[in-house]
């Protein structure tokens, strides 16, 4: 094996930097990586907003049904009359409310509508 010493001019010729094409290819690959990353962030934020909206809607529906259920449970209740009775005897007053319209709905709601089914069981069967 023979080793030859390269002259200083020959060494400089072999130690060139990156060419313009190599720089452009590197910049293009970097930009594509950034664009893909930004696209992923945008999709993630839009999905996060959709999930947040669905969660908020579910919480509001839960609250509405909780209030409706509480009101339905209290429909057959008796109120304590504070103006009559003694400490030993408590008197209850019976509510006589004005007639109200019945709850109605659709048996086959459209795709943007919801079906609400209510049931009531009176615990005052003998009264």
C-alpha span between 110 and 112 (Å, rounded)? 5
pLDDT tens for 41-54 read 999 988 888 888 88
pTM exceeds 0.85 for this model:
no
C-alpha span between 60 and 83 (Å, rounded)? 39
For 73, the 3-state DSSP assignment is helix
**DSSP character at residue 103:** P
Contact 78, 122 (CB under 8 A): no
Q: Is the pLDDT reported for residue 91 higher than 70?
A: no
Instruction: Give the Å distances, CA to CA, from 56 to 9, 42, 104.
Output: 73, 21, 26
Position 70 scores a pLDDT of 84
Range 84-97 average pLDDT: 65
Radius of gyration of the chain (CA): 39
Nearest to 75 by CA among 115, 126, 105, 118: 118
Question: CA angle at residue 15 from 14 to 20, to 5 degrees?
Answer: 105
């Amino acid at each position: 094996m023979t080793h030859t010493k390269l002259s200083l001019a020959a060494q400089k010729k072999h130690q060139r930097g990156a060419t313009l094409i190599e720089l452009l290819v590197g910049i293009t690959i970097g930009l594509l990586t950034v664009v893909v990353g930004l696209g992923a962030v945008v999709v993630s934020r839009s999905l996060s907003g959709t999930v947040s909206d669905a969660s908020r809607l579910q919480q509001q529906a839960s609250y509405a049904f909780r209030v409706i259920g509480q009101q339905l449970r209290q429909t057959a209740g008796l109120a304590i009359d504070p103006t009559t009775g003694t400490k030993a005897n408590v008197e209850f007053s019976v509510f006589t409310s004005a007639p109200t319209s019945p709850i109605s709905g659709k048996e086959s709601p459209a795709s943007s509508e919801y079906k609400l089914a209510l049931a009531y069981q009176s615990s005052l069967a003998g009264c």
